[in-house]
Amino acid sequence: MYRTNTCGELRLSDVNKKVTLAGWVQRTRKMGGMTFVDLRDRYGITQLVFNEEVNAELCAEANKLGREFVIQVTGTVNERFNKNKNLPTGDIEIIVDELKVLNAALTPPFTIEDNTDGGDDLRMKYRYLDLRRTAVRKNLELRHKMTMEVRKYLDSKGFLEVETPMLIGSTPEGARDFVVPSRMNPGQFYALPQSPQTLKQLLMVSGFDRYFQIVKCFRDEDLRADRQPEFTQIDCEMSFVQQEDIIELFEGMAKHLFKEIRGVELTEPFQRMSWADAMKYYGSDKPDLRFDMKFVELMDIMKGHGFGVFDSAEYIGGICAKGAATYTRKQLDALTEFVKRPQIGAKGMVYARVEADGNVKSSVDKFYTQEVLQQMKAAFGAEPGDLILILSGDDTMKTRKQLCELRLEVANQLGLRDKNKFALLWVVDFPMFEWSEEEGRLMAMHHPFTHPKDEDIALLDTDPAAVRADAYDMVCNGVEVGGGSIRIHDPKLQAKMFEILGFTPEKAEEQFGFLMNAFKYGAPPHGGLAYGLDRWVSIFAGLDSIRDCIAFPKNNSGRDVMLDDVMLDAPAPLEQKQLDELNLIVDIKE
């Protein structure tokens, strides 16, 4: 056999044991007549020793080994003289008496170390080499452990894992679909699922009252640090439940994962916050609550004093950064430039320091008396040493979102976003609809199958924009890690929803008739939730991006970047023969 042991398991108790190891050469060191080789596999590193005085020929072979050579060695476990306390195997070494090179290797383009000399682009291009690094491998091991714990938890709660099709029909709502042409049905296309939404609802009609699936989903949308064109959901659905039942069960799953994966015991119920309050106080439906800095609205205090920017504003609001009055003018100017960036879009920023004597020193002092500034200070509950930052604008929602970006930036600068601290909450009572300027109509904020709150159903006829949904998102550290809703199970109510969304009866029948017909045969009340596995893993691993917890991620253009000219070059053009078989003509518009 190639090995009797891995490179991570031998200890002092194995001294004098004859072993065979196989793996990759991490590094070699020649010291006088001795050559030391660090041999690495997935499980760890073991030091190999070659002694020129004992076997000069073998030592000479060892001196020819390059980084990442694949080798097999046989030898005897020995206690190390210079122990390495940083390695689990650091108390032992292998005195080698046989060496076989299984495969020579080119010198890799970067060092396969925790602290590598390879940049992001280079490591992504050679992702298969990057995956050899312990730091990256541990992310995938963490992902594996999390999926096992998810299955363990859901199985204990009576859920069945059911696979649903990857080739489905395209849906008109939500993000853009990835489409797949059908060779056997010319001119027709499958879509890759953005979610198994309708299929899991059919499973509820079928009587599978607790379903889950760890499933690949696809969305053709612009990418960010927490988005990929293909991603993995922990997708769940339950029958005969209300919102509270789902929140209780999946809050339990989150607590289970924190305990088993991170060793963190969460005993208190997660905070609840309405969507309206989240937007009012944090400018985001996924607020980061690891720190305070809640928005304070200042229209009543700051308007009407001759400062035109505020006097003409629809919204004036600010945050208070505790202990940040030491910010220099240069730092404040940098924050002003930050909020003026095109992607944020504020026109400027006003600041005010609370001095040691309690007086307030502001960048707009000439417009405001100290009495007014003291009222502002009191509104924030500010104390000496605090810094107040204020934004205003003619669009309340837009300005709150700008203030949200400022809040997060200041928190980053003050070190308040500790990755080892976790703040979880449920955001509830989302609006049922949102207005789309592009479409010129109301769109479903979640999806067309979300149930409105019972007390708001009457508003569907009179004021649909005011209707709230039985929808809920779980947020952790400012990241939406999961979301779901109670579903509509009444065909008449579902038809009403399609009507509000602008579907003709014929279009609704064409797109979703299969679901509506199924409901006629007795659909139970049901609802569900989907967690983003990639996001959960990235939070538990302390990563800023989900890319490093995915084995082969896409870049920000949705492309594979691994050895573009050799393999995994996707997307890529098709050969003409393939296009002909699919009855496709490619016409790229300028």
Tokens of 298: 């200042």
Predicted TM-score (pTM) of the model is: 0.90
Please tell me what DSSP assigns to residue 262. Answer: I
pLDDT at 174 over 70: no
pLDDT (average), residues 517-530? 94
User: Domain 12-103 belongs to what architecture?
Assistant: Beta Barrel (2.40)
Tokens of 311: 């006097």
- Note whether 12-103 and 138-157+193-272+424-549 share their fold: no
pLDDT (average), residues 474-480? 96
pLDDT (average), residues 269-298? 97
Share of the chain above pLDDT 90, in %: 82
The domain made up of 291-413 has a fold known as Gyrase A; domain 2 (3.30.1360)
CB-CB contact of 28 with 49 (8 Å): no
Between CA 353 and CA 325 the distance in angstroms is 5
Q: What is the CA radius of gyration of the chain?
A: 30
The DSSP bridge partners found for residue 320 are 388
pLDDT in tens, 550-589: 999 888 778 887 654 555 678 888 999 999 999 999 998 8
Helix 533-541 vs helix 134-156: crossing angle, to nearest 10: 130
Split at pLDDT 50, 70, 90, the class of 390 is: very high
CATH number of 138-157+193-272+424-549: 3.30.930.10
For residue 564, the model assigns a pLDDT of 47
Split at pLDDT 50, 70, 90, the class of 170 is: confident
pLDDT at 14 over 90: yes
| Beta carbons within 10 angstroms of residue 415's beta carbon | 8
pLDDT (average), residues 1-9? 96
CB-CB contact of 12 with 19 (8 Å): no
CA distances from 211 to 164, 207, 336 (A): 11, 10, 50
pLDDT in tens, 305-318: 999 999 999 999 99
Backbone angles phi, psi at 250, to 5 degrees: -85, -20
Sketch the domain layout of the chain as residue ranges: 12-103, 138-157+193-272+424-549, 291-413
Locate all alpha helices (DSSP H) within 432-504, ordered by sequence: 459-462, 491-500
Tokens of 274: 């309405």
